[in-house]
Each structure stands twice: as structure tokens, then as C-alpha cells.
Amino acid sequence: MNKKILGTASALLVTLSTTAGAADFSFSRVIPSWFSYNYAELEYVDMDEGFSGLSAGVSFDIKPNWNIMGQYLFASNSKHGIDLDYRVVAVGGGYHYQLKNFDKSDLMFHASLLQGKNEWVNQGNIKADDKDSGIRLGAKLRFEPQQNLEVNADISYNSLFDNDLTFTPGVLYKINPQFAVKGSFEFGDLDMLSIGLRYYIR
């Protein structure tokens, strides 16, 4: 990760800290969120080192301002007749609320348990694999500058395989009340472009 990305991520951390301080951050009183956190989504991912694949994710509110979420990512690459497969399963939850002094904005703090696996496959036979468990901790800021358009930014710490700090700006556009198209770019040790479709469950 270059210094410019680290600088941007650090600036976002300062912004999140400031806005969180300005918000009425109270667990004893419900602060309704502006955005929905009940959805399923499917994305195409294009990663560093020639890896590409799919990511499927879900999120559900289990009570006001609290959601659970899950994700499965599979990406592969082929070099010199050997297929390299990369898999990650994430299960976690988040706390989200609308910022008090900023219209149409949510701040979410999230945490997930991660299970990852790398496989080297030659003609259908697994030659070697590498497994690891880790955690992801982060914060995400969501903002609606105009109707049906969302811009967001996430900064996270990820301990899977190698410790990594990631910064992920993104955009989402609602086609109708149930469907939206979305895209994001994750800056980190393994950069990743994601483009996909989100379905709002309710």
C-alpha cells in the first residue's frame, strides 16, 4: 500500500472519529438508520495477480440498528497449467445509525470472523493448500447525495493471511425500490475491483 492511500485512509479515520463524536452515539436509545441493511448481493471481482471470480453476500437486521452479515468469495487464476484458487468465508455483524448532524448519512461499525483458503490445483488434483483464520474490523460511511444514489467509503483492518489495512470507496445506484447496481475498489495489499447487483429483501 503506497503512502498516498495510507494518507487517504488516515484522513477518513479522522473524519469518522469527528462525525461519530458529533453524532448522538447511544446504545440505549434507537437512532434510526437512513439506509436499508436487508439485502442480498452478487458481484464480479477482479483482483491483483490476475485473479477474478464472484462474491456473494447477505445482510439482515436482527433488531433496530443491528445487523448480521455473511460473504463468500471465490477467485481463481491459472499459471503454467496450474490453477490457483482463493476462497474466503466471512460471518459477522454491525451496528449502524444515522449521523445526527449530517442528513442522509449512516455510520456503521462492523466486525467479522474470516476463514480463508488457497489451493494449487493441477489437472483437477490439489497439489498444495494454505489455510488461515482471521478477523476484519472496520467502519463504513454511507451518504445519499441525491435520490437513489449512494456513495460510501470503508476502512478496515484484516488479519487474514497477512495483516492489511484496506480503504474501499464505492458507489451504488437504485434502479427501483428492490434492485441496485453497485461498484467499489478496495485498496490494500491485494487490490480488488467489484461490480455487481444488490437485491433489497424488504
Instruction: List C-alpha distances in Å: 170 to 10, 49, 181, 182, 192.
Output: 17, 22, 11, 7, 12
Q: Is the pLDDT of residue 183 over 90?
A: yes
Q: What pTM, to 2 d.p., does this model score?
A: 0.80
* Tens digits of residue pLDDT in 110-168: 999 999 998 887 766 657 778 899 999 999 999 999 999 999 999 999 999 887 899 99
Could you tell me the CATH number of the domain that includes residue 173? Answer: 2.40.160.20
The confidence score (pLDDT) of residue 125 equals: 67
What is the predicted pLDDT for the residue at 9? 47
User: pLDDT digits over 23-67, tens only?
Assistant: 444 443 457 889 999 999 999 999 988 899 999 999 999 998 999
Task: Compute CA 154 distance to the chain's CA centroid, rounded to the nearest angstrom.
Answer: 7
Q: What is the pLDDT at residue 103?
A: 85
CA angle 15, 18, 24 (to 5 degrees): 130
Containing domain of residue 155, as a range?
A: 3-200
The residue that leads in pLDDT, 174 or 1, is 174
When divided into structural domains, the chain yields a total of 1
Please report the pLDDT score of residue 101 as a whole number.
80
The pLDDT value recorded for residue 17 is 45
| 107: pLDDT strictly greater than 50 | yes
- Return the pLDDT at 123: 64
pLDDT at residue 80, as a whole number: 65
